[in-house]
Amino acid sequence: MTSLQVDSPNGFLWRIWASKGGGDKGDLAASKAFVNYLRLTWTMSLCSGPQASQLFVPEHFFINLDELEAYYQHLRSTFAPNE
């Protein structure tokens, strides 16, 4: 893993891993964060109505502003209307 990949917004799991010193503790922390992200976004996609937007609040999940912007950029590119 290069420092560029770790420093990029989509490297948030690597930063969590490194913040715990790597190894088993890093694996566990990064896995926990990923499963939490997956659970929240998946549940949100299954729900409808006003409560859906309250299940996953990106501003509460992503600590860094660049991670938050990368998430919204991903949504815009993934769910952009087909022309």
Q: Could you give the dihedral angle defined by the CA atoms of residues 9, 1, 42 and 77, in that order, rounded to the nearest 10 degrees?
A: 50
The residues of the chain scoring below 50 in pLDDT are 83
Query: Which sequence spans correspond to the domains of the chain?
Result: 3-78
**CB 70, CB 9: distance < 8 Å:** yes
Q: Cα angle vertex 70, ends 74, 75, to 5°?
A: 20
pLDDT at 1: 62
Instruction: Report helix, strand or coil for 5.
Output: helix
